[in-house]
Chain A
């Protein structure tokens, strides 16, 4: 046991020595100090941490090769200015000039080295004039106005297929959007909306597609799909309204607009429309207010409104709700 105790004592004092001898070095290292043998004193240094995307880039510090690749840190740098160059085969190099401070770390951890030959490929297999990307569903929709065909493909361009035909003689398309249920789209011009159903979609109710919705007295500025994929929210130069996507549907004006230069944003997650409208102050000057119009909570209200009589058909002179702005 004595021998064991002697060995143990030796170990204990060795550990004690290691702790007290090693601790100053560890703390000085942690605080960024290094020993300068020429000046024979401790100097406080800084460090640069470099991380690139992709990794493995060669580092040049003041045009001298650093024997490590990214991600890594360059330690023991005396305070001052340093030129950094990062090189990776078949990628654009990155260059920069940095000022290193004592006891500080510079983190270059958001560097992207872009490839010389971009990773690019053509996705469409047919000509088109407009496209929409639905990242959630992983689909791309293409619209060829000239031959009136709608195509669809995956995000990689695969499964490229012809899914619908646009109505003949439809005037210039001002805008278009695929319905949330992915079974149809609308296109619109200033005076008309056409709802086109995709091939293979269940469309037993309205076999004579497309469905045309005419706005002879108002100019259509913007159209959105309601999340039910049935109602359309329309913004014209006079009103904000809703209309069903069925033949002979009657548009309902929800809000009367004071100005046709309205800006709109439709939050399709919450079925809420944000729009601005101009108002005239008592002194005759114009100002803008931003409004929020909820269309989600009470679809029943929407249906009740739509269920009202044809005298509310906006193009023929229906009466819309009038806003009251804070400035009035």
Chain B
């Protein structure tokens, strides 16, 4: 409608759009620029002024020791909480709440955005849903297939036959390809399904306040008490519509079958999520999560043109509610598939791509920063804190392994005879060695905890497999080297250079890919 505006207003609007674009690019450049700036500065310093570089590296090493101990303590606390709460009879606790809360009035809308996963992946997810202890007539399942997948209609029919009558409602939707303003992302598919479900909900005259929506990855298997747990937290929360509810993702579906390398990566991923659940002021939705349907509609659904829809939905709500929005951790697990392939190299590639997609969550920074500039109602200090947290977490992700593994030895290598004769040159490897000893200590804690979250060993796997599960932690240095920082640095560099990533779903399945 620009043609309706007077010329002056048109040019002002054009200037605003240009300013917005420039700001967006600036915010896109900041994370990658900072990460590369840190890395290149340290390399430069190692060559021209190794003493300064050594001081920075020792400072970082010490910071990393403190951080590792701190985070491992949080992991123990979160793990203890998970251990205590995951087997609670949540639905009964829910029913024990005051009658006005009316626990089972709540409908559960479950959306499965499907890319090209077949019935063999979706069947266990739906079976787990069927096995939940929640009244099935209150469960609305929306299977959202991609129209562009030729098998979609056949798969939908197969699953509909098997599960169509098991829930209060079972909707199969087909997301058309190439809708205006959309990218080929999971968020676009989820939004399509949510809008289709909205028509159903409107048709049944169900109040949005009484619907909780859970958006699950295709391979997500919930625990029987999941909805009880979700309802309990929803009904007992302050401002329940101003919160997302985040279960703990574990990758247990095929963990016994997966190769060591992949298993280790996914266990570490689960642990990181457990740690994050203890840092509520930084906690952001990740992967499968739940929220109020009312809120989802109010914030205009998941983003349809961004890859990290699972976290962007949180930021959309955060901005919508002027910062009064949070994520409530649910100490109940949702189990997914470990991504792996036929050999270690392919597995590494699959894992690398998955981690790079997660690291593409850095696109949240320009989104959030631009949103903060527009929103005048969020206090400045809160904006600064959240921006700093977001930026710090991504920059740290991109540089930590590079500093520890690659830059650490550089002052010694480039320092020459003069630097070698200095006390700091002698002490640098000693302090770095101390760091690795501490890392080893924390690894032992991680190994122990990883045992406790394992599902029961299936038949056909001998006790030797348990030994292997401990020994595989020897892969940790390789893991740090390959998957520590590089996927994050890759993602940030792409964003910095405006080489935007396309959604590249991790192929999932209980079988090898």
Binding site for B on A (CB under 8 A): 1, 4-5, 7-8, 11-12, 15, 18-19, 22-23, 26-27, 29-32, 45-47, 49, 73, 103-107
Contact = CB atoms under 8 A, between A and B. Distances in A.
Given A5-B280, A22-B62, A27-B55, A104 B77 contact: no
A318 B279 CA distance: 96
Interface string B213-243: 0000000000000000000000000000000
Interface residues of B, number: 26
Interface stretch (B91-99, B351-359, B420-428): B420-428
Given A27-B59, A30-B428, A30-B431, A8 B278 contact: yes
A19 B422 contact: no
Nearest to A12: B70
Nearest to A30: B427
Q: Is the interface of B mostly helix, strand, loop or mixed?
A: helix
Interface of B: 54-55, 58-59, 62-63, 66-67, 69-70, 73-74, 77, 81, 278-280, 421-428, 431
B62 A32 contact: no
Given A8-B279, A19-B62, A49 B427 contact: no
A14 to B, nearest CB: 8
Contacts of B77: 4, 7-8
A26 B58 contact: yes
A305 B58 CA distance: 70
Contact of A19 (B63, B81, B279, B425): B63
A91 B81 CA distance: 62
A173 B279 CA distance: 89
Contact of A15 (B54, B66, B279, B280): B66
Nearest to A15: B70
B282 to A, nearest CB: 11
A248 B54 CA distance: 74
Counting chain A CB atoms within 10 Å of each CB, the highest count among B278, B422, B423, B427 belongs to: B423
B239 to A, nearest CB: 15
B74 A46 contact: no
B426 A8 contact: no
Given A19-B62, A27-B55, A104 B278 contact: no
A178 to B, nearest CB: 44
B73 A105 contact: no
Contacts of B69: 15
6 contacts: A8-B278, A18-B66, A31-B423, A103-B422, A103-B423, A104-B423
A256 to B, nearest CB: 51
A106 B66 CA distance: 31
A6 B220 CA distance: 32
A105 B81 contact: no
Contacts of B55: 27, 30-31
A29 B427 contact: yes
Given A4-B81, A18-B66, A49 B59 contact: no
Contacts of B278: 4-5, 8
Contacts of A11: 70, 73-74
Contacts of A27: 55, 58-59
B74 A8 contact: yes
B422 A26 contact: no
Given A8-B74, A105-B426, 20 more contacts: A7-B77, A8-B279, A11-B73, A12-B70, A15-B66, A22-B66, A23-B62, A26-B58, A27-B58, A27-B59, A30-B54, A30-B423, A30-B428, A30-B431, A32-B424, A32-B427, A47-B426, A103-B424, A104-B423, A105-B421
A23 B57 CA distance: 12
Nearest to B426: A105
Contacts of A32: 422-424, 427
A29 to B, nearest CB: 7
A45 B54 CA distance: 18
A178 B427 CA distance: 53
Nearest to A49: B426
Contacts of B70: 11-12, 15
Contacts of B54: 30
Nearest to B67: A15
Nearest first, the 6 A-B pairs at minimum CB distance are A32-B423, A30-B427, A105-B426, A15-B70, A19-B66, A15-B66
A45 to B, nearest CB: 8
B422 A105 contact: yes
Nearest to B434: A26
Given A7-B77, A8-B278, A31 B424 contact: yes
Contacts of A103: 422-424
Nearest to B233: A1
Contacts of B67: 15
B269 to A, nearest CB: 21
A314 B200 CA distance: 112
B278 to A, nearest CB: 6
B80 to A, nearest CB: 9
A128 B58 CA distance: 63
Contacts of A105: 421-423, 425-426
B94 to A, nearest CB: 17
Contact of A73 (B59, B422, B426): B426
Contacts of A73: 426
